[in-house]
């Protein structure tokens, strides 16, 4: 039974605010010192003169996934999920130790009752990896290849994979089949063992990966094209009197994760970015380059706020009660919130949710009047 965990947890609310261009976590004032209408709405100040925002054309680039792309995907797959084959130098009767990749069969039960997910055969487990529940791996270390034995474990409480097992005491019968060693190539047997739900051969797995990568590439290309429409809308406008405090506000918001987690890791902000953040998000920027990029994005966010608000005014966009309700329900769905609208509204503020819904309406107007040409 595997125990899943995350390397780094980010707050959904912070992400939502960053992508919505308008959130304020302060409870009393905005960065400019002006009282906030709600705990989330941050109103930017400045002057904007709209340029063209209807009839904009953007190009969706054609992306073709190459064999080299698939080769890299397979190589990365082997790093994350190594292909273990039997190590013939480790004979039956020899002890297994921490770090060994053992091939095991196991069957778990609570009392006399087996439970879903508690039984498996021909499974590899790296001892000491802490990928299974506490006590499972430690009980195997020191046993011998070929041994069959019972171990007693207690599921964590809560146990999110199956709440019915939270805190339950269980017995697992385990057989150590052999110890594996890494094999640096894909094999059909490896694919069947690990990816039988999507493929049973190496070629099948490559084609699945190709389709998956192509779908992702097409979605990104489409998203980039629509982002280009918004970029052009902003670039076509003229701005003056941008409030530097607004830019600082959004810059600080974009850096909040680093500022929050660096002390917890006992690192400076630059060390945390370099050693943790870059790897987690796949960034190839230096810390200074990242900071400079966040400053540019902060200014863009302020400009986007002003442009969308001006379009709302220019087009006399309003919301009916039904449109507002539908929008809020969609935000609740995206946030996986199961509460009622009134409670959600109290949490975020009706002014903030109205602002979001009107922004969406302005965005729809821009998109409805734009043209995406595919290469």
Q: How confident is the model at residue 46 (pLDDT cuts 50, 70, 90)?
A: very high
Higher confidence at residue 247 or residue 3? Answer: 247
Max mean pLDDT range (189-193, 258-262, 347-351, 369-373): 369-373
Distance (Å) of CA 130 to CA 139, 171, 194: 12, 18, 19
Mean pLDDT on 302-316 = 97
Per-residue confidence (pLDDT) for residue 347, from 0 to 100: 86
What are the helix and strand counts (H, E) for the chain?
13, 9
Whether 133 and 1 have beta carbons less than 8 Å apart is answered as yes
Per-residue confidence (pLDDT) for residue 149, from 0 to 100: 96
Per-residue confidence (pLDDT) for residue 9, from 0 to 100: 29
Q: How confident is the model at residue 312 (pLDDT cuts 50, 70, 90)?
A: very high
Whether 152 and 136 have beta carbons less than 8 Å apart is answered as no
pLDDT at 337 over 60: yes
The domain spans of the chain are 12-56+236-374, 83-183
SS3 state of residue 375:
coil
State the DSSP string of 310-370: HHHHHTT----HHHHHHHHHHHHHHTT--S-HHHHHHHH-HHHHHHHHHHHHHHHHHHHT-
Q: How confident is the model at residue 39 (pLDDT cuts 50, 70, 90)?
A: low
Mean pLDDT on 97-114 = 95
pLDDT in tens, 189-202: 999 988 999 999 99
pLDDT in tens, 154-187: 999 988 888 889 999 999 999 999 999 999 899 9
Q: Which residue has the tokens 């992508």?
A: 19
Tell me what the pLDDT averaged over the chain comes to: 88
The predicted model scores a pTM of 0.72
φ and ψ at residue 108, rounded to 5 degrees: -110, 155
Residue 83: strand pairing partners: 183
For residue 261, what are its two tokens?
A: 């987690």
Domains 12-56+236-374 and 83-183 share a fold: no
Per-residue confidence (pLDDT) for residue 264, from 0 to 100: 87
Q: How confident is the model at residue 93 (pLDDT cuts 50, 70, 90)?
A: very high
H or E segment to which residue 235 belongs: helix 202-235
Per-residue confidence (pLDDT) for residue 37, from 0 to 100: 41
The CA distance from 201 to 224, in Å, is 34
Per-residue confidence (pLDDT) for residue 371, from 0 to 100: 97
Angle at 16 (CA atoms; ends 273, 11), nearest 5 degrees: 55
pLDDT at 62 over 70: yes
Domain 83-183 has CATH 3.10.50.40: yes
State the DSSP string of 116-152: EEEEEEEEEEETTS--B-TTHHHHHTT-BTT-EEEEE
SS3 state of residue 95:
strand
Domain 12-56+236-374 carries which CATH code?
1.10.3120
């Amino acid at each position: 039974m595997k125990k899943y965990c995350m390397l780094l947890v980010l707050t959904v609310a912070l992400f939502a605010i960053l992508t919505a261009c308008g959130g304020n976590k302060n409870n009393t004032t905005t960065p400019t010192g002006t009282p906030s209408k709600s705990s989330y709405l941050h109103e930017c100040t400045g002057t904007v003169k709209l340029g063209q925002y209807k009839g904009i054309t953007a190009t969706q680039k054609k992306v073709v996934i190459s064999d080299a792309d698939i080769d890299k995907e397979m190589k990365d797959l082997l790093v994350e999920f190594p292909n273990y084959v039997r190590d013939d130098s480790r004979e039956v009767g020899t002890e297994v130790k921490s770090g060994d990749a053992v091939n095991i069969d196991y069957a778990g039960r609570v009392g006399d009752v087996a439970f879903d997910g508690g039984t498996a055969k021909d499974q590899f487990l790296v001892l000491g990896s802490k990928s299974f529940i506490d006590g499972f791996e430690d009980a195997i270390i020191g046993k011998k290849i070929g041994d069959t034995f019972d171990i007693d474990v207690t599921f964590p409480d809560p146990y999110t994979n199956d709440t019915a097992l939270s805190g339950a005491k269980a017995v697992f019968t385990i057989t150590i089949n052999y110890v594996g060693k890494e094999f640096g190539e894909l094999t059909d047997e490896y694919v069947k063992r690990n990816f039988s739900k999507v493929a049973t051969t190496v070629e099948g797995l490559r084609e699945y990966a190709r389709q998956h990568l192509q779908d992702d590439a097409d979605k990104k290309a489409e998203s980039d094209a629509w982002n280009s429409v918004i970029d052009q809308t902003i670039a076509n406008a003229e701005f003056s009197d941008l409030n530097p405090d607004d830019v600082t506000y959004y810059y600080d918001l974009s850096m909040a994760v680093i500022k929050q987690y660096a002390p917890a890791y006992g690192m400076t902000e630059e060390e945390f970015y370099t050693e943790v953040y870059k790897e987690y998000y796949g960034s190839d920027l230096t810390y200074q380059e990242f900071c400079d990029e966040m400053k540019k994005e902060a200014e863009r966010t302020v400009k986007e706020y002003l442009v969308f608000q001006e379009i709302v005014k220019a087009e006399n966009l309003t919301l009916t009660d039904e449109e507002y309700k539908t929008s809020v329900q969609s935000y609740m769905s995206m946030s996986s919130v199961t509460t009622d609208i009134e409670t959600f509204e109290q949490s975020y503020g009706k002014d903030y949710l109205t602002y979001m819904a009107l922004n969406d309406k302005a965005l729809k107007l821009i998109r409805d009047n734009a043209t995406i040409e595919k290469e």
